[in-house]
Chain A
């Protein structure tokens, strides 16, 4: 019974295709985040949301868009996938106790763009 669930777990898609990665959480947290993980680069923030009406760009938002459908759901879309978007994507949530609040991560989505 994971608190943060990502779907799909693995996906292979072709260049130019639109793809959506989904994240849902049962923690009741307001804050949700999308990161991508690349070898040697660590985790980089793509987008984050503090509530349903508050969406913010992270450091590498180009080529991505997000949708906060509800407090519990935060989706990441690649409008036209390209090979350098091949990466491991993580969704995370945190509560409203400031930056000292622990972040909880999903199990990751491995995306390959061919």
Chain B
């Protein structure tokens, strides 16, 4: 079965510290992975997708097929990074997204 696991419900780091939000997936097909973010009082929005191999707001994520992971990283956290982060798996055949449980990231000043 397709599944996305984000092991940390809550993550708290200090400003300037590195951040890593973990995401593991289970899928027999070729995975398409995304990170979505929900800032306070805003709607859920796409942060980045693995196929683009881009850095958005200082965040990067590398797909590791061997470890079935797609962890989100940022070397120096900023207060405005505080938000709810969701990892999502795109199911190619079914054309839909499966979301993880979400991680609430809090950046302390």
Residues of A within 8 A of B (CB): 2, 4, 31, 33, 35, 40-45, 48, 50, 58, 90, 92, 98-100, 102-108
Contact = CB atoms under 8 A, between A and B. Distances in A.
A105 B101 contact: no
B45 to A, nearest CB: 7
A103 B97 contact: yes
B59 to A, nearest CB: 16
Contact of A42 (B49, B90, B95, B102): B102
B44 A99 contact: no
Given A42-B4, A42-B86, A103-B97, 5 more contacts: A42-B101, A44-B99, A98-B95, A99-B95, A106-B43
B103 to A, nearest CB: 10
Nearest to A41: B101
A33 B96 CA distance: 9
B92 interface: yes
A105 B45 contact: yes
Contacts of B45: 104-105
B81 interface: no
Contacts of A4: 43
Nearest to A107: B43
Contacts of A40: 9, 101
A35 B43 CA distance: 13
B56 interface: no
A50 B95 CA distance: 9
A99 B92 contact: yes
B34 to A, nearest CB: 8
**A42, A103, A105: residue with the most chain B Cβ atoms closer than 10 Å:** A42
A63 B51 CA distance: 36
